[in-house]
Amino acid sequence: METRTFNVYSFDELSKFAQDKAITRYIEGNEMEFLSDDMGYWLDDRLEKEGIKEIGKLKIYYSLSCSQGDGAMFEGEFEWKGNLVSISQDGRYYHFNSKKFDITDICDEKASDETYKEFNSLYTEICKDMEKYGYAYIDNENDHDNVAENLRINGYMFTEDGTINY
């Protein structure tokens, strides 16, 4: 066995270069562990506001990597304006157009074209807003000042070059 000794530093004791390196490494490793939960809470509030009641397994899908085909969507069974709405994810993308949905009224009759159009418009608006919420969440999580504050508050220690010392 060999014993090695090295110095560790608080975030504020690092050089500006090492601080930037520490922030970059933290952001690269940030798995956004609370993003899904936060998007779920946001969606629950929005559905309630829009008078859409979840009656079957709500599931959220998203891809927020600033790439073509990115977006956010949800599926499940819902009650809306006396109609049963069933939404399922369709295809390989996760945006508002990657869905199939069916709407039936209380008598199990297919809803009117106008009802489909109205719900599709509302669904699209919700999904676009959820995507914006997700990107804003990521931007906030990766904001350099927020990351620096997180590193300070949580007492992370670093080697001189800005490598996190667990």
Nearest Cα residue to 89 out of 58, 54, 129, 126: 58
Residue ranges of the chain with pLDDT lower than 50? none
| pLDDT for residue 73 | 85
Q: Say what the pTM is.
A: 0.81
Helix 144-153 vs helix 16-29: angle between axes, to the nearest 10 degrees? 90
| pLDDT for residue 68 | 67
Kindly list the domain boundaries of the chain, sorted by start residue.
Answer: 35-111
